[in-house]
Amino acid sequence: MTTPTDLASASPTAEGRSTSAGAEKRAVNAPRRPRRRTKGSIKQVGLFSALLLGSFVMLLPLAWVALSSLKAPDEILQLPVKWLPDNFFNFSNYVQLFAQYDFGRYIVNSFVVTGIGIVTSLVIALLGAYAFAYFTFPFKEPLFLVVLALFMVPQEALVIPMYLMISGAGLTNTYVGLAFPDLFTVLGLYLLRQFMEGIPYSYVEAARVDGASDLRILIRIITPMVAPAIVVFIIIKFMFTWNTFLWPMLVAQNESMYTVTVGLVNFAGGEFNQWNLINAATMISMIPTIILFITLQRYLVKGVAMSGMK
């Protein structure tokens, strides 16, 4: 016969068994932790390492130019190679650029030529892209293919005919002559036309029903909607025009009309190159492009992202 004392002594054992059974049940029903994806982690580490190595390779020459712009000529030519300058506050090379070679004039010329090229090519590209996107006319697609075919013609092949035209018109040593090859760019026409085709035609139809002219539609409706594409075009156009060398070298026959790229040649002589001035001038020539890219970076990313939305 079971006494209360026996029940009291047996109850902890039963309670322990029920507790362990509940714990086992919870352990079985508990969600399993996902296994780590070893292959994916290895791929990410490899990709990150490759990108880091590529960034290092690309930034190494830039770091060398930046440090060498603060060195004296004998420091640059010193062997073994000396990376760090003796004086990090040696800005005499930059001062010499503007005092002895009037490098500020070269910068102004580059800005004027680049500005003329960007404005004219952007206006022509907007008008042409609007016509190809929203108008219907005979031989529309073949004509657009002919325009795109100009991509395959290198500018160097057109240098002599263009120079004969500019020289015959008396436009050498002028800003118009320097900017002549950049007055129209096929890239801008193609890029803006592709973006405009992604805009619903109903916007244009509604504006026309309200009595708006095509020029007003282009300026007030279409242009704000293709702003990311315009920013992408401006950045690309600025870099190409700013860094052009062959055409300004032919057209700018007076030193007062030199651009930055042509002005860099003044520091390279037949027997001795002024590497300290070349490096300092190179750093200054890169500053406008870097500032433009940083300022318009968010629009550039948006434009690249929207280019795939069709």
How does pLDDT run across 186-199, given as a tens digit for each residue?
888 988 998 898 88
The whole-number pLDDT of residue 24 equals: 52
- Which pLDDT value is given to residue 119? 94
Q: What's the pLDDT score for residue 22?
A: 52
6-56 pLDDT per residue, tens? 544 444 454 445 555 454 555 445 555 555 556 668 888 888 899 999 988
pLDDT for the residue numbered 76: 79
What is the rounded radius of gyration, in angstroms, for the C-alpha atoms of the chain? 33
The end-to-end CA distance of the chain, in Å, is 87
Is the four-CA dihedral 37, 39, 40, 42 of positive or negative sign? positive
**Smallest Cα–Cα separation from 116: which of 47, 181, 28?**
181
- Considering only CA atoms, which of 292, 125, 144, 141 is closest in space to residue 195? 125
Lowest mean pLDDT among 86-100, 102-116, 168-182, 241-255: 86-100
List domains and CATH numbers for the chain: 100-306 (1.10.3720.10)
Mind listing the pLDDT tens digit for each residue in 208-264? Answer: 998 889 899 999 999 998 888 898 899 889 999 998 888 999 998 888 899 998 888
Tell whether pTM > 0.85: no
CA distances from 138 to 110, 135, 196 (A): 41, 10, 20
Q: What is the pLDDT of residues 17-29, one digit of tens each?
A: 555 545 455 544 5
What is the Cα–Cα distance from 251 to 261, expressed in whole angstroms?
Answer: 13
Determine the average pLDDT of the residues in 108-118. Answer: 94
pLDDT value of position 124: 93
